[in-house]
Each structure stands twice: as structure tokens, then as C-alpha cells.
Amino acid sequence: MRHGKYPFIIGFLVVPLALYLVFVVGAYLQMFQLSFTDWSGFGGFHYVGFDNFVKLMEDPVFWIALRHNLYILIAMPIVTIAIALFFAFLLNVGGKSRGGTTQGVRGSKAYRIIFFFPQLLALAIVAVIFGRVFGPDRSGMLNGLFPDSWSPWLFLADERWALLCIAVVLIWQQIGFYVVLFSAGMGSIGQEIYEAAALDGATKVTLFFRITLPLLWDTLQVAWVYLGIAAFDLFALVNIMSVNKGGPNNATQVLSYQIYLNAFQNSQAGYASAIGVVLFFLTLTFAALTLRVTRRDAVA
Amino acid sequence: MTNLVTTPPAVAARPAPAEAGKGRVNPLNGVAHLALFLWALVTAGPLIWVLLASFKSNTEIFLGKPFSLPEHFSLKTYTDAWSEAHIGQYFVNSIIVVAISTAGTMLLGSMAAYVLARYRFPGNRAIYYLFVSGLAFPTFMALAPIFGIVKSLGLLNTFTGLILVYIAYSLSFTVFFLTAFFRTLPHEIDEAALVDGAGHLRRFFQIMMPMAKSGLISITIFNIVGQWNQYLLPVVIMQGSGSDTNWVLTQGIANISVQAGYHAEWSTLFAALTLSIIPMIVVYAIFQRQIQAGLTAGAVK
């Protein structure tokens, strides 16, 4: 190769790599180190062996948070994907039949624009809006809509419903993105496939399950991974919407919030790092499982 | 994004197959319209409600009837939100931080991606995978160490600190996406320029960057939206006394919400929310296509 190749390569890589090593790789490595210390977040620290991990195993709040994360990790993607598929299907093939072919419903472009918009709003701002939508008195949007004779619903202040309210907000924000994603996928499926099937007398429902769904399988997998990531990171929603810091009575406690609370409110940065380490292995498991599932499909 | 399944006119003009019937009403059609319309309401409803409530007095808000029109229109709540609640300040902060950090992310990210995509050298794969592995882990995992590192560099409560952290955490996806993109670009033009004696730097800035324009635009939009909406990192880096003058918009709104909660005084909050949503609507109206393409770019590879 030409003279001067290596100075050029080094020149182009050194700054991005340095930033990445200091702030990202450095942070992850320190997380492992700090998880074995009693660091409060300020000043020095001592090594305490596996104390943080022992404490973690015995900490009921940690297990509650982990359980909530798993609930949302399972339920949220399924619900979001199902609803988004339904709307995408209606947008693309819910229209009138003409000459044996189907077309998109009228106004499908406008629907897509409206549905997608929440994706553009910061989750923090969505959380503030829905904090008021779920307001526990008549100033809340939903309670304002209910008949006067009803006593106000508590929503986020009711420990039976608080976590569900938070999951609903996430679904509200995410659906439009997947409607657009799935629509694009459906749009790229050849019209002649649908025509042929429709000529053979296939119903809309058959079309959906026998043609649309299998051809969208790759997109669905990507959606699953993205939703899984979103389902893990509920920090903004819980920090802003939850009553009493992940309450009431820990009903909305999740791992990201536990890490934050321990690091910055309880001055237990070492312990927060230990939770991070557990999360590291959970994420690896999730990633490995996803890869495994994807690869099996590729073989089949 | 807009490849709608529409029937080309030629098909419509053709005699329809006997059993399909001409212009037969699809029973799904009514249901489809109803369902789609309802979801459009559910999506737009809370935003319209915020807009209406921003003009209402606190008493009106507590009367219920969320979708009634305000008794009189006044911009008082808006001036309060802009100056007293410092929304204007937070806005400017957000713009400064995101402008610099997105520019930095794009410059550094495309430099790294270009070298990783088009040059062979020992360690190329290792560096690539190092960047990409960052995609697997959530940012909040290492909150305490991020705080520690920024603090030890003396960058807590500074724009510089926030910008550097934004860039570092945006590099994984940017490098991943752009490396794939640079690989797909043809080699011929690049080689022709090499023969003509263009140096490495010139080929990057004058040949590769213009050729990669579409990919660069997508990922720029992706980064702007992502960084504008960031909440976790500012909360960690801009904390402690006196940090509030450096807060970004998301943080500021969340704080106004907490303050409003103490006094059960909501109208300023609704004005602040409206002020933060309107620019997004304007930008979305103008760049709707590019934004949908940019945000879904990551998912469709």
C-alpha cells in the first residue's frame, strides 16, 4: 500500500477510540472493580470481597425489581408487536378489494404520520405528560373524562396498577415506530403473491397468517431485540412517574432505577455496581438467546 | 417508507376476475377505519389535552372536562414557563449540547468507520468488535463509574463532560452502521482518485463523505433525536447544587413537573410541555420522510 497509510489510520482512530475507551470501556471495567468495594460515590473505598453480591441475594427489593423487569420484558414486546402488526396490516391491506387485489385504507399515510410522532418525543417528556394523564384527581385527563359520580382512580398511586400504567405508556410511545417498520416490510412483499392467494380464495386472515407473517419474520426479530432493550431501560418513566421513588411500596421498582437510587441517593455506589454486574450477565444471556434463536431460524 | 400497497391504475382498469366482483366492499374496511381512527385519537388525545390545558387556569384544570375549551386565551402561562421556569434557558442548553455532540459523533464516528471499513491492518477486527460490543449493554448499567470518571476529569456539571459522554456512547451504533455503509460503496472511484494522486485525507473528505451522504443523513437524524431525548446521562452528570443553569430540556421539564406537584399548580407545566412539543411537530412536519427513514434505518440494516 501507499506510504503514509499507518499514520493516517492511527490519526483517524485515535480520538474516537480514546473517547470510547475512557468513557465506555473504562466505565464497564470499573464497574467490575467497584462491585467488590464499599465505595459511596465520594472519596476512597475498601475492597469487601463478595459482600455486595451476598447482600444482593438477600435484598428483597432487588428481586422485586428484577421480577418487574422480566414481566415487562416478556409482556411489553408481545403486546406492542401484536398491536403494531394489526395496525400495519389494516393500513396495507385493510382497504377495498378491487379486481381481486386489496389496497391500503384511505388516509393510511396520515395515520402513519400521527402514529409515528410519539417516537420523536423524549421518554422523559412522555413520562411527564402521562404523569398528568394518570393524575389521581379530577385534574388528571382520565379521571376528568370519567363520570362525575365515580370516585377518582389512583392509577400510579395504586400499587396494583402502577406498573401496568408505566408499561402502557411505553407501549403508547413505541407502537407507531413498529407500525411504520412493519408497514414498510409488508409493502415490500410482492403484490402478486397476495393476488395469487386471493384468486385461490384465501381470506384476509389466511393472507395474514400464511403470507404476511412468515415473510416478515426477520423484521419481527429485529423488533423483538429493540423492544427488549426498551423494556430494560425504564429509568425515565419510573424516575418521573412513580410515586415515592419506585413505589407505592416498590410496585414500580426496576433494575435501572435501583442502580440509580443506590448510586446517587443511598450513597452505595459499590452496591449499585454489583447490580450492574448482574445486569451485565443478564444482558449477555439475552443477547446469546437472541443469537441462538436467530441462527436456528436461519438453518431451518 | 412510503411504498404503500396501492393498486396501479392499469390494474383497476382491467376487467376484474369474475368471482372478485368489481369494487366490492371489503368487510374489513369499516373495522379498519374504526380501529385506526381510535388509535389516532389515543395517540393525539393526550397531546391535544396538554395544549388545551396550557391555556386554562388551575381552577379550570381541576374542574375536570379535559377537552373543554379554555375560558379565555392568554399567553401568561407561556411567559411564565419561558422565563420563570427557565424553559428558554433549558432549550438553549439542549441545542448547544446536541449541536456539538452530534457534530462530534458524526465526525469521529465516520472517521473510525471509514478506516475500519476500507483499510486492512492488524487489530482492525478487534477494534470493530470493541465498538460494536457496546451495543449489547444498556447505558444505565455502569452509572456509578460513569459519574466517577466524569468527576475525576473535573467535568461534572459541564457541557464538555456531557458532550464527551454523549459522543462516546453514540459511537457504538454510529460506527456499526457507517462501517456497513462504507463497505457497500464502490471501490472504483476511490481507486481512480488514488491513481490520480489524491491523498488519504482528500479521498475521505472529498470522495467518500459525499458518496455516503444518504447514510450520513440517516444516522445524523438518529443521533440528533437520541441525544435530544437523552435524560439519564444529564441527570447523572448535571447534579448537585448550582447545576440547574446547565440543565437540558428533558431534565428541566421533569423538574418543573416535580415543582408543580408540590404546589398542585399545573398550568405552567402544561405550557412548558407545549413549548417543548411544538418544535418537534414543526421539525417532524418538514422532515417527516427523513426522520422516519433515519429512525427505522437501524432496524432494517
Rounded distance, CA A14 to CA B161, Å? 19
Positions of chain A with pLDDT under 50: 1, 100, 296, 298-300
Q: What is the pLDDT of residue B112?
A: 92
- Chain A's closest residue to B18, CA to CA, is A99
Taking an 8 Å cut-off on Cβ atoms, the answer to whether B300 and A5 are in contact is: no
What letters, b where the CB count within 10 A reaches 16 and e where it falls short, cover B230-240? Answer: bbbbbbbbbee
State whether residue B135 sits within 8 Å of chain A by CB.
no
Q: Which residues of A touch B64 (CB under 8 A)?
A: 138-139, 143-145, 148
C-alpha cell at A193: 403473491
Neighbouring residues of A160: CB distance < 8 A, sequence distance ≥ 6: A251
Q: What is the pLDDT of residue B298?
A: 60
Q: How far is A140 from chain B (nearest CA, A)?
A: 8
Task: Name the burial class of residue A184, with classes exposed (0-12), middle (13-18) and buried (19+) by CB atoms within 10 angstroms of its CB.
Answer: buried
Instruction: Classify domain B91-246 by CATH number.
Output: 1.10.3720.10
State whether residue B32 sits within 8 Å of chain A by CB.
yes
Q: Which of A20, A23, A97 is opposite residue B20, by nearest beta carbon?
A: A97
Taking an 8 Å cut-off on Cβ atoms, the answer to whether B165 and A204 are in contact is: no
Assembly ipTM: 0.84
- Chain B's closest residue to A288, CA to CA, is B136
Question: From the candidates A115, A121, A193, which should be mutated to test the interface with B, based on the most B CB atoms within 10 A?
Answer: A121
Taking an 8 Å cut-off on Cβ atoms, the answer to whether A5 and B200 are in contact is: yes
Q: Which residues of A touch B232 (CB under 8 A)?
A: 233, 235-236, 256, 260
What are the C-alpha distances in Å from B215 to residues A184, B113, B219, B273? 18, 12, 6, 32
- Is the pLDDT higher at B206 or at A16? A16
Give the model's confidence band at B28: pLDDT under 50 very low, under 70 low, under 90 confident, else very high: low
Share of chain B above pLDDT 90, in %: 21
Taken in order B21, B25, B29, B33, is the CA torsion positive or negative? positive
Question: From the candidates B62, B143, B147, B196, which should be mutated to test the interface with A, based on the most A CB atoms within 10 A?
Answer: B143
Q: Which of B66, B142, B296 is opposite residue A181, by nearest beta carbon?
A: B296
Query: For residue A248, is the peptide bond before it cis, meaning its omega torsion is within 30 degrees of 0?
Result: yes
For the ranges A193-202, B56-65, B94-103, B119-128, the maximum mean pLDDT occurs at: B94-103
- Give, rounded to a whole angstrom, the gap between the first and last alpha carbons of chain A: 43
What residues pair up with A37 in beta bridges, in sequence order?
A: A47
Q: What is the pLDDT of residue B77?
A: 82
Closest CA to A155 of A176, A174, A171, A139: A139
Backbone angles phi, psi at A4, to 5 degrees: 90, 10
Rounded distance, CA A273 to CA B237, Å? 17
The continuous run of DSSP H or E covering A286 comes out as: helix A269-299
Taking an 8 Å cut-off on Cβ atoms, the answer to whether A219 and B299 are in contact is: yes
Taking an 8 Å cut-off on Cβ atoms, the answer to whether B149 and A145 are in contact is: no
Query: How is B82-106 classified by DSSP, letter by letter?
Result: IIIT-HHHHHHHHHHHHHHHHHHHH
Q: Among residues 160-219 of chain B, which lie with CB inside 8 Å of chain A?
A: 164-165, 167-169, 171-172, 175, 194, 199-201, 204
Max CA distance (Å), chain B: 78
Taking an 8 Å cut-off on Cβ atoms, the answer to whether B253 and A12 are in contact is: no
Q: How far is A237 from chain B (nearest CA, A)?
A: 10
- Chain A's closest residue to B118, CA to CA, is A9
Where does chain A show beta strands of DSSP type E?
97-98, 101-102
- Asked if pLDDT for residue B34 goes beyond 50, the answer is yes
B81-118 pLDDT, tens digit each = 888 888 888 989 999 999 999 999 999 999 999 999 88
> Where do the structural domains in chain A lie, given as residue ranges?
49-299
Report the CATH architecture of A49-299.
Answer: Orthogonal Bundle (1.10)
Question: From the candidates A97, A103, A226, A271, which should be mutated to test the interface with B, based on the most B CB atoms within 10 A?
Answer: A97
Taking an 8 Å cut-off on Cβ atoms, the answer to whether A284 and B136 are in contact is: yes
Q: Which residues of B touch A6 (CB under 8 A)?
A: 121
Count CA atoms within 13 Å of residue A272 on its CB side. Answer: 28
Rounded distance, CA A79 to CA A75, Å? 6
- Chain A's closest residue to B44, CA to CA, is A114
- Chain B's closest residue to A222, CA to CA, is B299
DSSP character at residue B8 = -
Q: What is the pLDDT of residue A3?
A: 58
Q: Which residues of B touch A170 (CB under 8 A)?
A: none
Q: What is the pLDDT of residue B31?
A: 78
Give the model's confidence band at B8: pLDDT under 50 very low, under 70 low, under 90 confident, else very high: very low
SS3 labels along A3-53: CCHHHHHHHHHHHHHHHHHHHHHHHHHHHHHHCCECCCCCCCCCECCCHHH
B152-192 pLDDT, tens digit each = 898 888 899 999 999 999 999 899 988 988 888 888 887 78
- Asked if pLDDT for residue B17 goes beyond 80, the answer is no
Q: How far is A59 from chain B (nearest CA, A)?
A: 18
Share of chain A above pLDDT 90, in %: 21
Rounded distance, CA A257 to CA A279, Å? 12
Q: Which of A27, A94, A229 is opposite residue B146, by nearest beta carbon?
A: A27
Q: Could you tell me the pTM of the whole model?
A: 0.84
Q: What is the pLDDT of residue A147?
A: 79
Q: Which of B6, B232, B284 is opposite residue A117, by nearest beta carbon?
A: B284
Average confidence (pLDDT) over B58-62: 78
Q: What is the pLDDT of residue B21?
A: 40
Taking an 8 Å cut-off on Cβ atoms, the answer to whether B140 and A24 are in contact is: no
Backbone angles phi, psi at B169, to 5 degrees: -80, -10
B225-281 pLDDT, tens digit each = 889 989 999 999 988 777 788 899 999 888 888 888 787 778 888 888 998 898 888
Taking an 8 Å cut-off on Cβ atoms, the answer to whether A102 and B26 are in contact is: yes
Q: Which of A16, A123, A283 is opposite residue B231, by nearest beta carbon?
A: A123
- Is the pLDDT higher at A295 or at B17? A295
Q: Among residues 72-101 of chain B, which lie with CB inside 8 Å of chain A?
A: none
Q: What is the pLDDT of residue A127?
A: 93
Q: Which of A27, A118, A181 is opposite residue B142, by nearest beta carbon?
A: A27
Q: How far is A72 from chain B (nearest CA, A)?
A: 16
Cβ(A115)–Cβ(B43) below 8 Å: yes
